[in-house]
């Protein structure tokens, strides 16, 4: 069965520093995709970044990058130069080949990030 | 921009009431989803639909049903609300692409339901 694990319920980071949010996953399917979402206190879910299992390079989107280690089944989100507006809940999610037919995602439990001035 | 609109931001209902949560998307997406979000449990899939009048159970369908009579609208129904259904409910939509893809889910702002 597919599973996403986020072991950090909460994290603090100083403004302007980099922070890594951990995500490990489990699937028996060789073809899958990994997503990160941000949820500010307003409640909306904002899509940040995507990594496909066959992508040769780690995904990057502005200050967000994904440290993808396929053998370890980890897909950690790295936020560089943290800003106060980065304070939010962050969710890791996965879609595998079966999920690809329906586009459904399974989510981790989330990490609450607090950026301190 | 994709817009997914949930009809209510906050709802308070009594135990035993029938509750309707409405969701509308404006991007002609085939797929629509209902998740519930609880602290420490993340988002869990209740039901999803990949076409009009089509529905499939997610991971926690008990106590819920859904309706999709039109492509743009997906309703979540609590037949007889119970206190353990107090939660944040999130609707999402996406394109239907029959292969692994990077198409994200687009979410509404959520409905916080309290059942007393």
Alpha helices in B1-116 (DSSP H): none
Res B32: pLDDT: 94
Q: Is the dihedral of CA B81, B84, B87, B91 positive or negative?
A: negative
pLDDT digits (tens, 9 = 90+) for A40-49: 999 999 999 9
- DSSP three-state, residue B11: strand
Chain A CB contacts of B44 below 8 Å: 107
Res A20: pLDDT: 98
Give the C-alpha separation, A109 to A95, whole Å.
Answer: 16
For tokens 């492509």, what's the residue?
A: B71
Q: Indicate yes or no: CB of A43 within 8 angstroms of CB of B110.
A: yes
Say if residue A101's pLDDT is above 60: no
Res A97: pLDDT: 64
- Region B94-100: what's the mean pLDDT? 72
- Region B75-83: what's the mean pLDDT? 97
Res A30: pLDDT: 85
Which one is predicted more confidently, A68 or B101? A68
To the nearest whole percent, how much of chain B has pLDDT over 90?
A: 82
Res A61: pLDDT: 96
Q: Does B88 touch chain A (CB under 8 A)?
A: yes
Q: Min CA distance, B37 vs chain A (Å)?
A: 9
Average pLDDT, chain A: 92
Least confident range of A39-48, A78-87, A98-107: A98-107
CB A7 within 8 A of CB A22: yes
DSSP string over B23-42: EEESS--SEEEEEEEETTTE
- Region A62-78: what's the mean pLDDT? 96
């Amino acid at each position: 069965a597919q599973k996403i694990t986020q072991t950090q319920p909460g994290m603090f980071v100083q403004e302007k520093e980099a922070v890594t949010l951990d995500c490990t996953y489990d699937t028996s399917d060789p073809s899958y995709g990994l997503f990160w979402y941000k949820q500010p206190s307003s409640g909306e879910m904002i899509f940040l970044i995507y990594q496909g299992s066959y992508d040769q390079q780690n995904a990057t989107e502005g200050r967000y990058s994904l440290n993808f280690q396929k053998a370890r089944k980890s897909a950690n989100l790295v936020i560089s130069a943290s800003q106060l507006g980065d304070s939010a809940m962050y969710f890791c999610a996965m879609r595998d080949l079966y999920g690809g037919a329906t586009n459904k995602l399974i989510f981790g439990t989330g990490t609450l990030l607090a950026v301190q001035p | 921009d994709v817009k997914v609109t949930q009809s209510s931001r906050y709802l308070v209902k009594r135990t035993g009431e029938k509750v309707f949560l409405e969701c509308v998307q404006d991007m002609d997406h085939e797929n629509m989803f209902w998740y519930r979000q609880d602290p420490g449990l993340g988002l869990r899939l209740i039901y999803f639909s990949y076409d009009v009048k089509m529905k499939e159970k997610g991971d926690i369908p008990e106590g819920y049903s859904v309706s999709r009579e039109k492509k743009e609208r997906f309703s979540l129904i609590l037949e007889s609300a119970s206190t353990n259904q107090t939660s944040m409910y999130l609707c999402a939509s996406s394109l239907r692409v029959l292969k692994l893809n990077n198409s994200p889910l687009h979410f509404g702002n959520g409905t916080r339901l309290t059942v007393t």
